Amino acid sequence: MNLEKRAEATAKNIEGKVQEAVGELTGDRKQKVEGQIKQAQSSAMHAQEDLKDEAKRIIDQA
């Protein structure tokens, strides 16, 4: 598990949540959508790390 990558993904998720909320409060649809995109990117980054962890687990068992 690469903690640095996971921390980066978590930070991106928080940034996206804040950006989405600001967009919602100000009525700025572009900001809101950009925040949602950052959250989706964060989820993809976490999924990638999960796959790496699973592959390493399988290799270690072999």
pLDDT value at 62 more than 90:
no
- Name the residue type at position 45: M
Q: 20, 42 in Cβ contact below 8 A?
A: no
Q: Which pTM was predicted?
A: 0.87
d(CA 16, CA 45): 14
| Helix (H), strand (E) at residue 33 | helix 29-61
pLDDT tens-digit profile of 21-38? 999 999 999 999 999 999
Please state, rounded to an integer, the average pLDDT across all residues of the chain.
Answer: 95
Long-range pairs of 23-27 with CB within 8 A, sequence gap ≥ 24: none
